[in-house]
Amino acid sequence: MTPGQLSAAAKSFNFLKGNHGSDKMNSLNTNIQIFPFPLNIQSSVDWIMSPESGGIDVFIGTVRNQTKGKKVIKLEFEAYEPMAIAEMQKIAEQAFEKWPVQKVLVHHRTGVLEVGDVPVVIAVSAAHRAAAFDACRFIIDTLKQTVPIWKKEIFEDGEVWVAAHP
Amino acid sequence: MNIKILAFGIAKDIFGGTSVNLELANDATVYNLKYLLEQQYPRLKQLASYMVAVNNEYALPGDNLHERDEIAIIPPVSGG
């Protein structure tokens, strides 16, 4: 890659980054960020597309209106940002080791989200669809187990940190 | 040594703030830290589980702590 191409790639990262996203851990084929404002699904798709890709798989998490039959008013997400970025980067690296994928994007929200808002976008590109599907599922499943991000459910009559108690 | 421990999620509610300071022996381990914290904050024991992170990595009970480490309590995660 020429210095000019590198510079163009860096500019596209800065465009995606906006003013608040943290992106200390990105390379040319991974884009891992945490945002305190709404995620841009279209710019995620634009970033993941490449001429070498035969397919992209996008997972969009959304805030559901109830949990176990109880009405949810809103959710609040909190992240231990430097560690969350590092853990998401590890998951992306594992995806690259396990499947022939080309690019991986993981964007996660913090802050207060209402029903229908998008807390997470995961996008994977690959030459063939099977790798993109498998890697995308692996990334969201593993993220939910290891990445230090916490969700508080806020109901009409109280609030609870999800999964905190047995 | 005096160490600062960052708290997130329900750990913030348990500690009553985003961090607590604790006096530990210089050769203290993660296990020692958890023991002391659970004495001071018994509600930690009611959690489904919790981990300690040292310098942005999950730590094992036998890992040693150092004064300048960034130490955090990681209650059960629930992102995504």
Residue with tokens 């008013």: A73
CA distances from B24 to A17, B12, B45, B64, B67 (A): 40, 20, 20, 11, 9
CA B15 to chain A, closest CA, distance in angstroms equals 15
- As given in the structure block, the two tokens for residue A95 are 């995806």
B73 phi and psi, to 5 degrees? -95, 125
What is B2-74's CATH number, 3.40.50.740, 1.10.287.1080, 3.10.20.30, 3.30.70.2190? 3.10.20.30
Using a 10 angstrom Cβ sphere, with 0-12 exposed, 13-18 middle and 19 or more buried, the burial of residue A148 is buried
Confidence band for A8, pLDDT divided at 50, 70 and 90: very low
User: What is the torsional sign of CA A3, A5, A8, A14?
Assistant: negative
User: CB atoms < 10 A from the CB of A157, how many?
Assistant: 8
Nearest to A143 by CA among A106, A93, A104, A109: A106
Distance CA(B18)–CA(A156), nearest Å, equals 26
Distance CA(A34)–CA(A20), nearest Å, equals 8
Contact with chain B for residue A152, Cβ under 8 A: yes
Contact with chain A for residue B53, Cβ under 8 A: yes
Confidence band for A27, pLDDT divided at 50, 70 and 90: confident
| pLDDT tens digits, A103-160 | 999 999 999 999 999 999 999 999 999 999 999 999 999 999 999 999 999 999 999 9
Asked whether the beta carbons of residue A80 and residue B74 sit closer than 8 angstroms, the reply is yes
Can you tell me whether residue A136 is helix, strand or coil?
Answer: helix
Residue A32, CB-side half-sphere exposure with 13 Å CA sphere: 24
Contact with chain B for residue A145, Cβ under 8 A: yes
Distance CA(A142)–CA(A149), nearest Å, equals 12
Chain A positions in Cβ-Cβ contact with residue B15 (cut-off 8 Å): none
Nearest to B43 by CA among B11, B8, B21: B11
Ranges of each domain in chain B: 2-74
Q: Give the nearest chain B residue to A60 (CA atoms).
A: B80
User: Residue length, chain A?
Assistant: 166
Indicate if the pLDDT at residue B47 is higher than 80: yes
Chain A positions in Cβ-Cβ contact with residue B56 (cut-off 8 Å): 82-83, 86
- As given in the structure block, the two tokens for residue A59 are 């997972």
Contact with chain A for residue B9, Cβ under 8 A: yes
CA A12 to chain B, closest CA, distance in angstroms equals 25
User: pTM to 2 decimals?
Assistant: 0.88
Of A61, A86, A149, the CB nearest to B77: A149
Asked whether the beta carbons of residue B79 and residue A161 sit closer than 8 angstroms, the reply is no
CA A60 to chain B, closest CA, distance in angstroms equals 9
Domains and CATH numbers, chain A: 3-161 (3.90.1170.40)
Of A77, A86, A166, the CB nearest to B79: A77
Total CB pairs under 8 A between chain A and B: 80
- The two counts, helices (H) then strands (E), for chain B are 2, 5
Confidence band for A7, pLDDT divided at 50, 70 and 90: very low
User: CB atoms < 10 A from the CB of B49, how many?
Assistant: 10
Distance CA(A148)–CA(B73), nearest Å, equals 10
Indicate if the pLDDT at residue B10 is higher than 50: yes
Indicate if the pLDDT at residue A18 is higher than 60: no
- Start-end of H helices in A23-154: 41-48, 81-98, 129-146
